[in-house]
Amino acid sequence: MTCAHVEKLPDEVTPDSAEGCRDCLDSGHHDWVHLRMCLTCGHVGCCDSSPARHATAHYSVTGHPVMRSLEPGEDWRWCFADLESV
């Protein structure tokens, strides 16, 4: 079952950063563990295993519910609003 938020996403979203977590880079850090991309706006943030947890912070500020992994070989998506894989 897919959450209802997936149906509201734009058809195509591109990452806003090719180098890594946008917020970490802006603050001079490179210590993220994994990268996530917001499927609403393309914001690239670091995962909850990273020190700053910027992907979760992005959801908290914007309410954009669905992120996907940017890690090679991973194609999963996560809905923060429903707390489930989609």
pLDDT, one tens digit per residue, over 10-29 is 999 999 988 999 999 999 99
pLDDT, one tens digit per residue, over 26-70 is 999 999 999 999 999 999 999 999 999 999 999 999 999 999 999
Question: Cα–Cα distance between 32 and 9 in angstroms, integer?
Answer: 26
pTM equals 0.93
* Confidence band of 83 (pLDDT split at 50, 70, 90): very high
- E strand or H helix at 55, and its extent? helix 54-62
Checking if the pLDDT of 1 tops 60, the result is no
In order of their start, the domains of the chain are 6-85 (3.30.40.10)
